[in-house]
Structure 1
Amino acid sequence: MSKLRQMEVFVAVVEAGSFAEAAVQVGMSAVMVGRHIQSLETALNTKLIQRTTRRQSVTGEGRLFYEESKIALEQVKYAFSRVEEATGKPGGLLRITAPMTLGVSLVGPLIAEFMQRYPDVHIELILSNEVVDLYESTYDLAFRISELIGANLVSTRLPPYRMVICAAPGYLDQWQAPQTPEDLYKHRILTHTSWNNRFAWPLRHGNKQVPWPERAVLKSNDGQVLLQAAIAGGGILMQPDFLVAAALLKGELVTIMEACVPAPKPVQMVYPRSKKSLPKLNAFIAFVLEKLGATGMG
């Protein structure tokens, strides 16, 4: 295991307050996070974190190692950024985080194409619906479905996240197509598990907003799983247009309730101001804008 990676994981654990939260930030399983910490403690021959079934706490030695690790990691990042800026050529590791469905269906294909054009840039893409603090992590850029950004972040707006409500023709032959949000409660519903109070998609019905039904025959944190279920006739789906576009074009799905579709949400690429001169970051942003276009800068 790389000592720098172990230090990065340890810092994430201390700042996140749990192995599970740190795992999201560093893009690995909680079990692997635990192995990194155990390896560090073995190498240092001291306990860094005390864990019980209910809580974890940092030891005195752990606090000292955390402070020194923060300084070392910042120096490493600074060294890499100075060399990257000096060469002016896109290269090195670019770490990106994005929401699950957006990442799989939109960001992933963009990255695959970007790497063909810039073979010296290596990408690490971590998908999570959690909002990662870009200043407390090692990510260079994040895709966010949100209007809000941090004060010290630079943002570039992309085409908005537009939802489509649809179902398979075979399903609609068997079940009468719903006309209003209230009609959905009589149907088989497919739902994404991230839809909650923080990230809800209320339907429009005249001047009212109506929540997407909570009761569902299938819930998943992966839009592709829901898409395949809808194509198979499993129920009514609401997902972003870029995810269902191919299925609609093939006639595997048809749109319904177009007047009730939720209002679009803004999509933004955001990154710390301190990284705005990195060639690899600027090349990626320019590439995404070339492919998708922009709706405004922030």
Structure 2
Amino acid sequence: MSKLRQMEVFVAVVEAGSFAEAAVQVGMSAVMVGRHIQSLETALNTRLIQRTTRRQSVTGEGRLFYAEAKTALEQIEYAFKRVEASTDRPSGLLRVTAPMTLGSALIGPLVTEFMQLYPEIQIELILSNKVVDLYESSFDLGFRISERVDVNLVCRPLPPYRMVICAAPKYLATWQAPQTPEDLSTHRILTHTSWNNRFAWPLRQGNKDIPWPERAVLKSNDGKVLLEAAIAGCGILMQPDFLVAAALVSGELVPLMSACAPEPKPVQMVYLRSKKSLPKLNAFVTFISERLGSSTPKPHAH
């Protein structure tokens, strides 16, 4: 394990407040985060984080090391920015965060295409439905499904996140197609685990919002797992249009209750103003904007 990576992980743990939260920030498992911290403590021969089954706290030595490590990492990042900004050739490591389904089904394939155009840029794409703080992490750019974006971030609006309700013909051969949200109560439902009060997708019926049924035969945090289950005829699915588009075209799935689909949600590509001069970031932003469509970058108001 490199000392630099250990320092990055330690700083992330202190700032996130837990191994699990830090794991999202640095793109590794919580177990691996613990190994980095343990290795760092062994190398320093001192306890940096006091851990119990219920909580963790930073020791005095840990606070001292955090301050020094934070300063060192900021200096290293500044050095890289200076060199990267001094050349017009996009190169270096670009760290990107995105929600899971958006990232795996839409952004992931675009990243693959982008890397073929810019072989000198390395990409680290971390998928999580938790919103990553770009100020407190080492990510260069994030994708957000939200209207609310920090006013100090540069924001590129992308095509909205549109949900489609659908099912396989083989499912509808056995179950009568629902006509209203209330009809879903008698059907086999496929649900994403991230849907909750903070990130819900209510159906529309006139002036009323109807929640997607809580009871489901399959719940998953992976949209592609739900898609495969729907194609197999396991139940009724609601997922974004870009995920189900191919299956709809092939006839593996058919749309249902289009008039009741949830209101689309804005998708934003955001990054820090301080990083907008980096050629690697500009190349990526331009590429995504051209592929998906975007307007002029602007700060997003609350």
TM-score range, shorter chain: over 0.9
* Partners of 1:72 and 1:182 in 2: CA distance: 58
TM-score using structure 2 length:
0.98
Give the CA deviation at 1:296.
Answer: 5.6
* Partners of 1:213 and 1:295 in 2: CA distance: 36
**1:250 and 2:263 aligned:** no
**1:98 and 2:98 aligned:** yes
* Partners of 2:36 and 2:54 in 1: CA distance: 21
**1:141 and 2:141 aligned:** yes
* Partners of 2:148 and 2:282 in 1: CA distance: 22
- CA gap of 1:261–1:296, structure 2 versus 1, over 3 A, is farther
Give the CA deviation at 1:152.
Answer: 1.8
Structure 1 runs (4+) deviating above 4 angstroms are none
* Partners of 1:295 and 1:156 in 2: CA distance: 6
Q: Which residue of 1 aligns with 2:170?
A: 170
**1:231 and 2:231 aligned:** yes
Seq. identity, %: 79
Deviations 1:196-237 (A, max 9, x none): 011100000001000000000000000000000000000000
Q: Which residue of 2 aligns with 1:34?
A: 34
Contact residue 159 and residue 295 of structure 1 kept, 8 A: no
* Partners of 2:192 and 2:251 in 1: CA distance: 23
**Partner-residue secondary structure (3-state), 1:123:** strand
TM-score using structure 1 length:
0.99
Deviates further, 163-172 or 149-158: 149-158
Give the CA deviation at 1:297.
Answer: 3.5
Q: Which residue of 1 aligns with 2:75?
A: 75
**Partner-residue secondary structure (3-state), 2:173:** helix
* Partners of 1:187 and 1:162 in 2: CA distance: 22
Matches within 5 A, 1:266-285: 266-285=266-285
Contact residue 158 and residue 296 of structure 1 kept, 8 A: no
Give the CA deviation at 1:134.
Answer: 0.3
Q: Which residue of 2 aligns with 1:111?
A: 111
Give the CA deviation at 1:295.
Answer: 4.8
Aligned partner letter, 2:140:
D
Q: How many residues align?
A: 298
Aligned partner letter, 1:289:
S
* Partners of 2:150 and 2:26 in 1: CA distance: 20
Give the CA deviation at 1:265.
Answer: 0.4
* Aligned-CA RMSD value: 0.7
* Partners of 1:5 and 1:49 in 2: CA distance: 17
Q: Which residue of 1 aligns with 2:265?
A: 265
Aligned partner letter, 2:116:
Q
Q: Which residue of 2 aligns with 1:44?
A: 44
Give the CA deviation at 1:294.
Answer: 1.3
Aligned partner letter, 2:29:
S
**Partner-residue secondary structure (3-state), 1:87:** coil
Give the CA deviation at 1:19.
Answer: 0.4
**Partner-residue secondary structure (3-state), 2:86:** helix
Deviations 1:131-184 (A, max 9, x none): 000010000000000011112211000000000000000111110100010100
**Partner-residue secondary structure (3-state), 1:138:** coil
**Partner-residue secondary structure (3-state), 1:125:** strand
Q: Which residue of 2 aligns with 1:294?
A: 294
Give the CA deviation at 1:88.
Answer: 1.8
* Partners of 1:59 and 1:297 in 2: CA distance: 43
Contact residue 190 and residue 237 of structure 1 kept, 8 A: yes
Give the CA deviation at 1:128.
Answer: 0.1
* Partners of 2:152 and 2:289 in 1: CA distance: 21
Deviations 1:11-64 (A, max 9, x none): 010111110110011100000000000010011010000000111000000000
Structure 2, unpaired ranges of 5+ = none
**Partner-residue secondary structure (3-state), 1:204:** strand
Matches within 5 A, 1:144-223: 144-223=144-223
Deviations 1:105-138 (A, max 9, x none): 0000000000000000000000000000001000
